[in-house]
């Protein structure tokens, strides 16, 4: 609390001790009284003291008042008093009014206090959230002071409060609701609040726009009478400016929401426009500013272009043009309207064409362009208006070859119309008028008619001027240099030099014309070499630029002034270093960078009107080229010529390379895809194998069971003298089984050979892919190969198992045969008893054999299923084989392609090397290309 | 251009899932592989036709980063539709859907139509989230579902249009209060009352809703 004491100490008219005590007592009552009425009275009393004893009330009561806001939510009266008191303590606005007569020091002290109290209030961000909730209270006595308090807090600590509002989900939305409040005071103060809230915070601006701000504000503007409306309209417009300035997202929303169309009626002016109120002028200024925000040259070109299109289609541009031609419009509105029209047409062919067709309502009607140019070269017109007209003319010609042609045509002998004033006449008049400002404007305007337009540069060479009676006509080009040499004002000479530089740059014929006059080069060298004062530095720099252009764009058609001769001249008369230094005077000039900033010509005073924006771009482009050109010897130049040629060749080669890389890229992609599909195939294979494995396991189990059974049978048979017939049958079955087994074995061997064939294929594929893909596809491939390897191993182990089974089977067979031979010779000793015994034994044996038979048939079934499994496996194997075959063929094709390309790259590289170029190793290029490719993917 | 209805959408989901690309593909019909990170919120718009009616879609593309979450929340309430996007090649973006959904449900109006989008369907080989999983999530939470590719434009139109269809149906059923703009729905300037089948371009010029 030290800071507050400090502030208080500075207060000259401190309260009487009794007042401080009173405030203390009131605060105690607010804090501790259990009766609502009592608390309410105390807060009301604090409020009444809060203006006069702002410090004391602020320091002592803030916490208590915030507490009231939190706890006495149901009583709007006490809430109102508390909010009012807080507002009086925090706001600096009241202070301003009171302190108007007092000294600045006291004012500053008040501001300090407001800031400190605001900081104190913001110590807990929840306090702002609390105020946002209180806004929902409909009672005027709560909502209004709440709005004012929030506004004051925003004014004092904008960024902090914005941050808190931004993260409370309903915050902005609640504030927006204020615009819908039927009580004007609240709506209007809500506007002020939103102005503060949106200042410099794009995120809030977007949310406010999302909450339909455009719609509501435009509605209010219309309801209030558009430009004829009062300060509320102004406030709405200010808020709109906040929302659109430097916020491309909102600008896009504004355009897409069809709100540009709703601006058109703003500019409907009547017949008589005298006696506009100051408010109307302010409103219109803001309205024009809004139009300009949507088409500003600093916006993205696409955004500006679509807004421009829209402004033409909805008639807004036409409306603005009627203001241009209307009578009685205040000069500053007229000026701003011209600036606005300028940016609405800049670079937009349709809008430029429309502008060219606009006529002034004079008799006879004259083109608006002509009428405007008349103002530009008229000394009596306000400076800012003349600048605006120049801007408009520049914007009309910007990227408008057609318009440039039309302007230049008005100067050409064949098309001059003697009966009416033309743009060309006005420009020539301006160029040679005694008014240096007119000279400058006309020179720059004419330069814009030539900008990036070789045809018009050449056309303008045809223009001849009649100077005085009896003397032969002089070319426009020559007349310009004549005036230069007559030592006119700096502004005039700067203008003319900029025109000449623009004119002859990139136009060798114009350079020749210029050099053809024997006086011009000596004049320039004299200007550059002399040691002149500060004022002349810019002119010297421009002369150096002009001479430099004569060197750089020289086609050597004049023997006296070839590139080489001019350079020798510069070296002898001026000195290379001196020349370069003088050339540097242009960009070092204090006004240069200002002009480079944006297209609109804006000057603090008429004397500062020296640089044109487009010209600064030309300087930027030429300075380096000329410096190089002057420094270079002729040999170097020749070499450069050659280098240029080889460079061109190299460019071609590089293009070819790029093409190649692109192709290779595609191939790599293809290969990758193939690897992927092979991976899936492997997966399928793996699944089949595991299926196979489990089936084999089943078979093994069944064999085991069978083996056990057979073992038992053998035992019983060896104990008995069985029935041959039965046993014979058994043998037959056994041999059948054996045959089947044999068949199975054959199939297995077949499969095995197929598998090893496949192995070989995979091996060769592996080496092929490795060779083809290099490091990129390698990992995929090894993975695949590993998988295949594993697969192979599995199949191998299956085979081993099958072999094992086979052995067991053979063993079983052997034993079965042994059993049958045991039972072969039956002994005959016919005794009834033995017979009966034998018979019963036979019966037992028969039943056992029966059982055995059942077991056999089961075995048979199992064998059948095993056989079909093998069949399935076989088809799958063959499918796989063909697939492998196919992919091998594709790989081969790819390999061919790659080899082909390698060959091409190699020969190209060789050619490059032959040409003396250091060639990057192709692998490097490849590798880099691949890594960047992968990075791209990683970003995804 | 005159429209019968205007719907406000928001696009939400983790950063990098392709929200901005989806919007660009829908509004400009192009794909920009190297794309600026969205800072805060960006706006885009397009006209579509449903049931013979012109419907203007205004779309706010949000930044997915955690630090912008609270800002994003300000947009939920006023939106009629939301595209909740994840990336089928990044499981974490799918895992975060629950959080997104909770956030959306908490701050939006209850009728907001949410379309779940599994983007980058062109990257099949790098897929980490099965289509069935997306479908199951959508079914479980009552969302519409689609897989899209902002790169190949596959299903992009459909995603935006199907969301609009769902909103449109809700309007027809009387679920939405179309007179409350806070729901993200607005009736066009000269809403055709009965003869809605007439081509709307006829009334366009007179209504002052001129050009773009
Ligand atoms: N392959 C592919 N890449 C995409 C797709 N959509 C977006 N991307 C890429 O994913 C990255 C992030 O996209 P972006 O739209 O900026 O994501 P956001 O942060 O959600 O707005 C960019 O590199 C895009 O090129 C798609 O459908 N397929
Ligand atoms: Mg984005």
Arithmetic mean of pLDDT over chain B? 87
pLDDT at A938: 46
**Overall average pLDDT of the A436-447 stretch:** 96
**Overall average pLDDT of the A259-274 stretch:** 89
3-state secondary structure of A133: helix
**Overall average pLDDT of the A357-370 stretch:** 89
**Overall average pLDDT of the A243-269 stretch:** 95
A344 contacts A295 by C-beta, under 8 angstroms:
yes
- Reported as a single tens digit per residue, the pLDDT across A754-776 is 777 777 766 776 666 565 555 54
Structure tokens at B182: 């806070």
Cα-based distances in Å from A616 to A127, A548, A578, A600, A623 = 53, 16, 22, 13, 10
Answer yes or no: is pLDDT of A311 > 80. Answer: yes
B181 touches chain A (CB under 8 A): yes
Confidence of residue A14 (pLDDT cuts 50, 70, 90): low
A798 contacts A692 by C-beta, under 8 angstroms:
yes
Confidence of residue A293 (pLDDT cuts 50, 70, 90): very high
First to last CA, chain B: 6
pLDDT at A104: 59
B146 beta partners = B117
Answer yes or no: is pLDDT of A259 > 60. Answer: yes
Answer yes or no: is pLDDT of A778 > 60. Answer: no
Confidence of residue B196 (pLDDT cuts 50, 70, 90): very low
* Most trustworthy range by pLDDT among A771-780, B25-34, B112-121, B198-207: B112-121
A856 vs A354, more confident: A354
- B72 within ligand 1 shell (Cβ under 6 A): no
A314/B211 CB distance under 8 A: yes
Mean pLDDT lowest for which of A546-550, A623-627, B118-122?
A: A623-627
pLDDT at A634: 66
The C-alpha atoms of residue A224 and residue A279 are separated, in whole angstroms, by 13
3-state secondary structure of A887: helix
**Greatest pairwise CA separation for chain B in angstroms:** 54
Instruction: Please give the number of the atom of ligand 1 that sits closest to the Cα of B31.
Output: 25
**Overall average pLDDT of the B12-38 stretch:** 90
A211 contacts A223 by C-beta, under 8 angstroms:
no
The alpha carbon of residue A208 is apart from the nearest alpha carbon of chain B, in Å, by 10
pLDDT at A350: 97
First to last CA, chain A: 55
Arithmetic mean of pLDDT over chain A? 84
A443 contacts A609 by C-beta, under 8 angstroms:
no
Answer yes or no: is pLDDT of A263 > 50. Answer: yes
A671 vs B25, more confident: B25
Distance from the alpha carbon of residue B150 to the mean position of ligand 1, in angstroms: 7
A473 contacts A466 by C-beta, under 8 angstroms:
yes
Confidence of residue B14 (pLDDT cuts 50, 70, 90): very high
- B64 within ligand 1 shell (Cβ under 6 A): yes
Confidence of residue B32 (pLDDT cuts 50, 70, 90): confident
Whose alpha carbon is nearest atom 28 of ligand 1?
B120
Mean pLDDT lowest for which of A211-215, A786-790, B56-60?
A: A786-790
Give me the residue from B33, B40, B43 closest to A253, CB to CB. Answer: B43
A67 touches chain B (CB under 8 A): no
- B20 within ligand 1 shell (Cβ under 6 A): yes
The C-alpha atoms of residue A895 and residue A672 are separated, in whole angstroms, by 14
Determine the residue of chain A that is closest to B125 in CA distance: A676
A84 vs A845, more confident: A84
CA A384 to chain centre: 37
Q: Which ligand is nearest to the CA of B14?
A: 1
Q: CB burial class (10 A; 0-12, 13-18, 19+) of residue B25?
A: buried
- Reported as a single tens digit per residue, the pLDDT across A577-587 is 999 999 999 99
Structure tokens at A708: 């056990």
Answer yes or no: is pLDDT of A822 > 70. Answer: no
Confidence of residue A702 (pLDDT cuts 50, 70, 90): confident
Answer yes or no: is pLDDT of A392 > 60. Answer: yes
3-state secondary structure of B84: strand
Answer yes or no: is pLDDT of A536 > 60. Answer: yes
For chain B, the C-alpha Rg in angstroms (whole number) is 17
Q: Which ligand is nearest to the CA of B121?
A: 1
- Reported as a single tens digit per residue, the pLDDT across A877-903 is 888 888 878 877 877 777 777 777 777
Confidence of residue A723 (pLDDT cuts 50, 70, 90): very low
The C-alpha atoms of residue A396 and residue A403 are separated, in whole angstroms, by 7
**Overall average pLDDT of the A38-45 stretch:** 90
Name the residue with tokens 């509320």: A232
3-state secondary structure of A917: coil
B71/A166 CB distance under 8 A: yes
- B18 within ligand 1 shell (Cβ under 6 A): yes
List CB contacts (< 8 A) between A202 and chain B.
40
Structure tokens at A499: 């025109």
**Overall average pLDDT of the A128-149 stretch:** 94
Answer yes or no: is pLDDT of A268 > 50. Answer: yes
A343 vs A743, more confident: A343
pLDDT at B209: 39
Structure tokens at A744: 């199975």
**Overall average pLDDT of the A29-43 stretch:** 88
The C-alpha atoms of residue A578 and residue A835 are separated, in whole angstroms, by 144
pLDDT at A7: 43
The alpha carbon of residue A162 is apart from the nearest alpha carbon of chain B, in Å, by 12
pLDDT at A737: 66
**Overall average pLDDT of the A417-445 stretch:** 90
Confidence of residue A52 (pLDDT cuts 50, 70, 90): confident
B187 touches chain A (CB under 8 A): no
pLDDT at B197: 41
A699 vs A592, more confident: A592
pLDDT at A452: 95
At A440, which helix (H) or strand (E)?
A: helix A436-450
List CB contacts (< 8 A) between A203 and chain B.
40-41, 71
Mean pLDDT lowest for which of A55-59, A192-196, A382-386?
A: A55-59
Structure tokens at B96: 């975060």
Whose alpha carbon is nearest atom 11 of ligand 1?
A940
Give me the residue from B60, B70, B208 closest to A210, CB to CB. Answer: B60
Pairing of strands A366-367, A359-360: antiparallel
Distance from the alpha carbon of residue A869 to the mean position of ligand 1, in angstroms: 48
A171/B74 CB distance under 8 A: yes
At B41, which helix (H) or strand (E)?
A: strand B41-50
- Reported as a single tens digit per residue, the pLDDT across B158-192 is 999 999 999 999 999 988 877 777 789 998 876 54
**Overall average pLDDT of the A139-151 stretch:** 96
Answer yes or no: is pLDDT of A51 > 50. Answer: yes
Determine what percent of chain A is predicted with pLDDT higher than 70: 85
Confidence of residue A840 (pLDDT cuts 50, 70, 90): confident
A175 vs A646, more confident: A175
Q: What angle do CA A451, A454, A456 make, to 5 degrees?
A: 75
């Amino acid at each position: 609390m030290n800071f507050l004491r400090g502030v208080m100490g500075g207060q000259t008219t401190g309260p009487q001790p009794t007042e401080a005590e009173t405030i203390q007592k009131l605060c105690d009552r607010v804090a501790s009284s259990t009766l609502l009425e009592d608390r309410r009275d105390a807060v009301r009393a604090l409020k009444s003291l809060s203006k006069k004893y702002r410090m004391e009330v602020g320091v002592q009561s803030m916490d208590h008042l915030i507490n009231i806001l939190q706890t006495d939510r149901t009583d709007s009266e006490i809430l109102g008093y508390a909010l009012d008191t807080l507002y009086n303590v925090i706001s600096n606005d009241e202070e301003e009014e009171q302190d108007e007569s007092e000294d600045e020091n006291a004012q500053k002290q008040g501001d300090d206090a407001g800031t400190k109290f605001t900081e104190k209030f913001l110590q807990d961000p929840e306090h702002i959230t609390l105020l946002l909730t209180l806004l929902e209270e409909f009672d005027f006595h709560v909502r209004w002071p709440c709005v004012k308090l929030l506004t004051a807090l925003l004014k004092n600590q904008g960024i902090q409060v914005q941050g808190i509002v931004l993260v409370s989900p309903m915050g902005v939305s609640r504030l927006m609701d204020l615009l819908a409040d039927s009580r004007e005071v609240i709506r209007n103060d809500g506007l002020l609040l939103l102005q503060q809230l949106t200042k410099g915070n794009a995120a809030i601006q977007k949310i406010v726009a999302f909450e339909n701000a455009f719609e509501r504000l435009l509605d209010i503007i219309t309801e209030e009478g558009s430009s004829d409306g009062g300060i509320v309209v102004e406030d709405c417009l200010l808020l709109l400016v906040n929302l659109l300035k430097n916020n491309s997202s909102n600008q896009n929303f504004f355009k897409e929401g069809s709100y540009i169309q709703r601006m058109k009626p703003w500019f409907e002016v009547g017949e008589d426009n005298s006696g506009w109120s100051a408010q109307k002028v302010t409103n219109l200024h803001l309205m024009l500013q809004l139009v300009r925000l949507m088409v500003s040259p600093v916006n993205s070109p696409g955004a500006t272009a679509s807004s421009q299109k829209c402004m033409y289609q909805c008639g807004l541009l036409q409306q603005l043009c009627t203001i241009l031609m209307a009578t009685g419009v205040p000069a500053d509105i007229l000026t701003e309207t011209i600036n606005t029209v300028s940016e609405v047409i800049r670079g937009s062919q349709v809008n430029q064409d429309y502008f060219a067709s606009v006529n002034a309502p004079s008799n006879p009607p004259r083109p608006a362009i002509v009428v405007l140019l008349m103002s530009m070269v008229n000394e009596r017109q306000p400076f800012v208006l003349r600048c605006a007209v120049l801007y408009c003319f520049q914007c009309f010609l910007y990227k408008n070859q057609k318009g440039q042609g039309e302007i230049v045509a008005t100067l050409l002998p064949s098309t001059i119309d003697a009966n009416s004033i033309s743009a060309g006449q006005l420009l020539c008049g301006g160029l040679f008028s005694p008014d240096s400002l007119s000279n400058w404007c006309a020179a720059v305007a004419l330069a814009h008619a030539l900008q990036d337009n070789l045809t018009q540069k050449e056309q303008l060479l045809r223009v001849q001027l009649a100077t005085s009676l009896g003397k032969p006509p002089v070319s426009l080009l020559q007349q310009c240099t004549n005036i230069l040499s007559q030592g006119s004002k700096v502004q005039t000479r700067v203008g003319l030099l900029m025109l000449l530089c623009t004119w002859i740059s990139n136009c060798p014929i114009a350079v020749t014309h210029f050099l053809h006059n024997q006086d011009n080069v000596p004049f320039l060298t004299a200007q550059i070499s002399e040691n002149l004062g500060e004022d002349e530095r810019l002119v010297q720099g421009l002369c150096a630029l002009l001479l430099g252009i004569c060197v750089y764009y020289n086609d050597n058609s004049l023997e006296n002034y070839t590139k080489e001769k001019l350079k020798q001249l510069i070296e002898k008369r001026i000195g290379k270093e001196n020349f370069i230094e003088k050339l540097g005077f242009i960009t070092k000039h204090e006004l240069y960078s200002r002009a480079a900033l944006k297209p609109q010509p804006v000057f603090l005073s008429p004397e500062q009107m020296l640089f044109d924006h487009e010209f600064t771009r030309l300087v930027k482009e030429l300075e380096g080229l000329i410096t190089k050109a002057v420094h270079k010897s002729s040999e170097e130049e020749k070499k450069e010529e050659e280098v240029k040629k080889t460079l061109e060749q190299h460019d071609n080669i590089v293009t070819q390379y790029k093409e190649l890389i692109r192709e290779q890229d595609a191939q790599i992609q293809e290969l990758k895809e193939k690897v992927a599909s092979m991976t899936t195939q492997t997966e399928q294979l793996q699944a089949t194998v595991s299926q196979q494995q489990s089936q084999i396991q089943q078979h093994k189990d069944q064999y085991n069971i069978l083996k056990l059974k057979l073992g038992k049978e053998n035992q019983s048979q060896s104990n008995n003298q069985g029935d041959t017939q039965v046993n014979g049958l058994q043998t037959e079955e056994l041999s059948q089984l054996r045959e089947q087994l044999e068949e199975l074995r054959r199939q297995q061997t077949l499969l095995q050979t197929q598998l090893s064939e496949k192995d070989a294929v995979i091996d060769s594929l592996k080496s092929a892919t490795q060779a083809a893909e290099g490091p990129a596809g390698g990992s995929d491939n090894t993975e695949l190969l590993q998988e295949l390897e594993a697969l192979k191993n599995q199949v191998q182990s299956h085979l081993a198992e099958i072999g094992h089974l086979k052995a067991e089977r053979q063993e079983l067979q052997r034993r079965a045969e042994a059993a049958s031979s045991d039972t072969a010779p039956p002994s005959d000793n016919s005794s009834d008893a033995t017979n009966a015994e034998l018979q019963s034994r036979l019966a037992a044996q028969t039943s056992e054999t029966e059982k055995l038979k059942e077991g056999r048939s089961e075995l048979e079934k199992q064998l059948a299923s095993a056989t079909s499994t093998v069949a399935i496996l076989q088809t799958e194997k063959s499918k796989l084989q063909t697939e492998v075959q196919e992919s091998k063929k594709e790989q081969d094709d790819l390999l061919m392609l790659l080899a082909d390309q390698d060959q091409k790259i190699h020969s190209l590289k060789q050619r490059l090397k032959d040409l003396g170029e250091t060639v990057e190793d192709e692998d490097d290029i490849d590798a880099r290309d691949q890594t960047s490719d992968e990075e791209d993917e990683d970003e995804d | 251009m005159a429209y019968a209805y205007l719907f406000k959408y928001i696009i939400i989901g983790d950063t990098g899932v392709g929200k901005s690309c989806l919007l660009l593909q829908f509004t400009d019909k192009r794909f920009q592989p190297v794309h600026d990170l969205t800072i805060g919120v960006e706006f885009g718009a397009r006209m579509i036709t449903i049931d013979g009616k012109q419907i203007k879609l205004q779309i706010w593309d949000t930044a997915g980063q955690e630090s912008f979450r609270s800002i994003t929340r300000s947009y939920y309430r006023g939106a009629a539709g939301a595209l909740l996007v994840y990336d089928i090649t990044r499981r974490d973006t799918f895992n975060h859907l629950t959080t997104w959904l909770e956030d959306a449900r908490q701050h939006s109006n209850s009728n907001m139509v949410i379309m779940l989008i599994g983007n980058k369907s062109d990257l099949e080989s790098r897929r980490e989230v099965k289509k069935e999983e997306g479908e199951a999530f959508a079914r479980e939470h009552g969302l519409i579902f689609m897989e899209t590719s902002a790169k190949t434009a596959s299903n992009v139109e459909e995603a935006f249009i199907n969301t609009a269809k769902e909103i449109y149906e809700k309007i027809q059923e009387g679920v939405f209060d179309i007179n409350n703009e806070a729901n993200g729905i607005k009736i066009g300037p000269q809403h055709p009352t009965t003869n809605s089948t007439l081509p709307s371009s006829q009334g366009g010029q007179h209504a002052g809703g001129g050009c773009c």
